[in-house]
A and B are shown apart, each in its own frame.
Chain A
Amino acid sequence: MPNNKDHQFDAIVIGAGMSGGYAAKELCDNGLKTLLLERGRDVKHIADYPTTNMQPWEFKHRGRIPYAVEKENPVISRCYAFKEDAMHFFTKDTEHPYVQEKPFDWIRGYQVGGKSIMWARQVQRWSDYDFEGPARDGFAVDWPIRYKDLEKWYTAVEQFIGVSGNKDGLPELPDGDFLKAWELNCVEKHFQESVKANYDKRHVIYARCAHLTEDREIFKKQGRVLCQSRVICQRGCPFRRLFQRQFNFDSLAERTGNLTLRPHSVVHSIIFDEKENKATGVRVIDANTKEMTEYFSKIIFVNAATFNTNLILLNSISDRFLYGLGNENGLLGKYVAFHNYRARVSAQYNGHQEMKTEGRRPTSAYIPRFRNVFQQETDFLRVMPQGLPLQRCPTQRCRSWGGIDEIYCPQKTMALGGSVRT
């Protein structure tokens, strides 16, 4: 098999989502013959966005998930974006079951592009207050890198995907190479002023968000135009105005001649060669035929998101690695990190009633982390920032209603604090 030319590559990337797609781009651009494996189906730009131009009344269930689907798939039905307009991009509970010893809502999007099609587009940089957290506060294992190691790569990615934001000059949330920001609305500005007047080192800013708000040469080359503020991003964007992974694959293959994209390819395990003492290939099960095939390469990138990456490594058993590839310390599959999104604080503000609501904005205000940043202040560790959508209280709201999303009652303005995140 290793001698079969069709099965021999310079690089193999497992997973065609956000990170795997970027890895494949870098590898192909640098001249490596790359096999990109994706367990789900192919999703072509525009051709596979069946709902992208649909009007509210064209949806059979007016945007709702049918009861039978919801009942059969309780986990994915809890996801905020699993609605009639984008449900075809989410993996149903029944399509890949798992055992919940304790409840865990595993939200997945098995397809070329992965969850980059439906993601919420938030791209805040980390700072050394994040990278130094474990070392300073004495938990987990110290990060092997610091901000300076990543800084130029943050910039490179921002220049490629396009990120709108302000240069706020905050050490806890480093600035990048941003496109212009949308405005905060009048209540967000009021809150911003109030927080500035009442607190030291607390800030309300515009969230850094991956939307095109300015033309640049690189975006023209990518065939992208300015964000139209349709605010139905999760359906797939025909304008390519926000970064969705899959629109790059065709041009990448054409431009470099180095990409082989193979959908419906579930990676079973990584092949470890004991003589060479290195990983040399992958075993792939075809999702349709169930046939197993082996592919070989000099380097392998595992970009299957957190859980499936762990599952592939745990399933990669050899005489050298009895409990999974690289699992000599027994820590593989343990110490999962996640964000605490449970808490919400809401309020009303009755000012600015002379203002009218106009237009749409696909992002929101943001409060960078202010607790335990510069020193430990509380009897708990860490804390993350909060999203801050401040909006007129809708009287009628339905995700699929796109353009008619904001039928607002004129009297009330609602302030929604987002959540604490660990």
Chain B
Amino acid sequence: MGHSVAKSNIDYDDNDEKMIQDYFEQLTDMFEKAGFTDIKTSDSKQAPGLDIHEMGAYAWATTQKLPS
């Protein structure tokens, strides 16, 4: 009968990149105001999934097509 294997094709998009830059700016500002020093930002570039918070991949009970 054979055995099906899952395929993953998931990635970040432009919204994620902008969000990361804003996070760096906002947290740096909050840390500076608190008198913290040696403030460093880093982007792990980790693949999706390692957050262990995936959800969805199904669009409720609707026949409506999602925007691509």
Where the two chains meet, the residues of A that have a C-beta atom closer than 8 Å to any C-beta of B are 78-79, 97-107, 115, 139-141, 144, 190-191, 194-195, 198-199, 202, 306-307, 310-311, 313-315, 326, 328-351, 370-371, 378-383, 386, 415, 417, 419-422
CA distance A12 to B24 in the complex (A): 47
> Nearest Cβ in chain B — how far from A122, in angstroms?
10
The answer to whether residues A345 and B18 also contact, given A101-B7, A101-B8 and a CB cut-off of 8 A, is no
Q: In the complex, what distance in Å separates the CA atom of A349 from the CA atom of B31?
A: 9
CB contact between B56 and one of A103, A335, A351, A417 (< 8 Å): that residue:
A335
In the complex, the answer to whether B6 meets A79 with C-beta atoms within 8 Å is no
In the bound complex, CA of A97 to CA of B16 (Å): 28
Partner of B12, one of A337, A340, A379: A340
- Say whether A310 contacts B57, CB under 8 Å: yes
Q: B6–A98 contact, CB under 8 A?
A: yes
CB distance from A218 to the nearest CB of B (A): 28
Q: A99-B7, A105-B49, A336-B10 are in contact. Are A420 and B60 (CB under 8 A)?
A: no
CB distance from A342 to the nearest CB of B (A): 5
Query: Chain B 32-43 against A: per-residue CB contact (8 Å), 1 yes, 0 no?
Result: 011111111111
Which of B24, B50, B64 is A79 in contact with, Cβ under 8 Å? B50
Contact of A310 among B49, B51, B58 (CB under 8 A): B58
26 residue pairs from A and B, CB less than 8 Å apart: A78-B46, A79-B52, A98-B8, A105-B50, A107-B49, A139-B67, A191-B34, A199-B30, A306-B57, A307-B54, A334-B59, A335-B57, A336-B48, A336-B54, A337-B54, A337-B56, A338-B49, A340-B16, A343-B41, A343-B43, A346-B39, A348-B36, A380-B15, A415-B31, A420-B20, A422-B16
Q: A101-B8, A343-B43 are in contact. Are A349 and B22 (CB under 8 A)?
A: no
List B residues at the A interface (Cβ < 8 Å): 4-12, 14-16, 18-20, 22-24, 26-28, 30-31, 33-67
User: Across the interface, do A311 and B4 meet the contact criterion of CB distance under 8 Å?
Assistant: yes
Q: In whole angstroms, what is the CA distance A311 to B5 when docked? A: 9
Are A104 and B23 in contact, CB atoms less than 8 angstroms apart?
no
The answer to whether B54 and A338 touch across the interface, beta carbons within 8 angstroms, is yes
A406 to B60, CA, bound (A): 46
Tell me, rounded to whole Å, the shortest Cβ–Cβ distance linking B37 to chain A.
5
Residue pair A97, B46 in contact (C-beta under 8 Å)? no
* Cα distance A139–B41 in the bound complex, in angstroms: 29
CB distance from A89 to the nearest CB of B (A): 13
In the assembled complex, the CB of B25 is this many whole angstroms from the nearest CB of chain A, namely 10
Q: How far is the CA of A175 from the CA of B44 in the complex (A)?
A: 33
Which B residues touch A336, using CB under 8 A? 10, 48, 54-57
- In the assembly, what is the distance between CA of A315 and CA of B4, in Å? 8
* Residue from the list A102, A334, A340, A347 in contact with B37, Cβ < 8 A: A347
CB-nearest residue of chain A to B34: A194
Contact A380–B18 (Cβ < 8 Å):
yes
Least distance between B19 CB and chain A CB atoms (Å): 5
